[in-house]
Structure 1
Amino acid sequence: MLLSRHQVLGRRERDPERLERSAYLLLSRIDTQGPMSIGQLAEAFGLDTSTVNRQTAALLRCGLAERVADPDGGMARKLRITTEGGRRLTADREANRSCLARVIADWSPEEVQELEDVLVRLNRSAEALEGRYWPRAEEDAPRTADHHPAAPRESAPRAT
């Protein structure tokens, strides 16, 4: 939460293109996992279906997501990110990384790596307690000592 508060430099009030927090989280999950139904999203976040329904309706109205037939042939329609939703999500991720990069600009590579390791452990411990795991694209990617968490990556957001 503290880290989120320090994203002040990229706040939505200063940039109307920035996504609402719920939109960012929903789009990030769909981006990582692929098209999802409202029920799947509600289960993934531990939220009531009516809450997710309202949040996804806002995504649909703004053209950030669209309803599609289940790619696996199921009955429920699923939500998929639109080109505009992908563009906005990418822009927000980059703004978050840029803000974080400024915060840790004078840290050593070892300190940056230590922060990343501890945040990964914190996130995974919280997920384990809740029984809700966030799919990660980087699970099979090799880790390097000089990896900088503020550098652009094709993965789910960690602590942004």
Structure 2
Amino acid sequence: MAIDAEQGGKLVMDLSRVVKLLRAVNVSVPRFHESLEQSAHPLLFAIHDEPARVTNLADRLHTDISVVSRQVRHLETLGLVAKVPDPDDGRASVVTLTSEGSDLVTRVFAGRGQWMADVLADWTPEQAASLDEGLERLAESLRTELDALTSAKEN
């Protein structure tokens, strides 16, 4: 049985509150790199997951290519990423982490992982696993919805 609009509305309000709290926490937590905005972390994580062309990174992050290009240039100046020739097409470049960028991602994962473990210290492992499962399922549902909206817009 599907949820109704009232329950859906409550979920939207709860998610909005969580997103706002996460943004507020992000402003206050220590930085892992003095010259790097935390808004660049998702790009670093995407490159860590799989080095790619700027256009592919923009698609994966659901962000405009110009924004990703700007962020990549900034990360290059900081020595965190490098552009290397695409093995499939030498005319194009793939963005990859440098060793300093890889070290930073490792530190961010560890630091944020410990922070989340501390936030959820009074949760059981089963409760945390249930949250993770729910978030993964929500992300997949949102991806499906975004794909449908994008497809409808193109037609």
| TM-score, scaled to structure 2 | 0.72
When residues 56 and 71 of structure 1 are mapped into structure 2, their CA distance, relative to the original with a 3 A threshold, is same
> SS in structure 1 opposite 2:72?
helix
Give the corresponding residue for 1:22: 39
Paired residues of 1:7 and 1:100 also in contact (CA < 8 A): no
Give the corresponding residue for 1:154: none
Please state how far the C-alpha of 1:51 moved relative to its aligned partner: 1.5
> Which sections of structure 2, spanning at least 5 residues, go unmatched?
1-18, 149-155
Where in structure 2 are the equivalents of 1:7-156 lying within 5 Å? 7=25, 11=29, 14-15=30-31, 17=33, 19-33=36-50, 35-131=51-147
Kindly report the root-mean-square deviation, in angstroms, between the aligned alpha carbons of the 2 structures. Answer: 2.4
More helix by share: 2
Paired residues of 2:79 and 2:101 also in contact (CA < 8 A): yes
Give the corresponding residue for 1:146: none
> SS in structure 2 opposite 1:127?
helix
| TM-score, scaled to structure 1 | 0.70
Paired residues of 2:54 and 2:68 also in contact (CA < 8 A): yes
Give the corresponding residue for 1:144: none
More strand by share: 2
Please state how far the C-alpha of 1:28 moved relative to its aligned partner: 0.8
Please state how far the C-alpha of 1:8 moved relative to its aligned partner: 5.0
> SS in structure 1 opposite 2:91?
coil
Could you tell which deviates more after superposition, 1-10 or 44-53? 1-10
Paired residues of 1:63 and 1:84 also in contact (CA < 8 A): yes
Superposition misfits of 4+ residues, deviation over 6 angstroms:
none
d(CA) in 1 for partners of 2:113 and 2:20?
A: 16
> SS in structure 2 opposite 1:77?
strand
> SS in structure 2 opposite 1:36?
coil
When residues 7 and 94 of structure 1 are mapped into structure 2, their CA distance, relative to the original with a 3 A threshold, is farther
When residues 46 and 111 of structure 1 are mapped into structure 2, their CA distance, relative to the original with a 3 A threshold, is closer
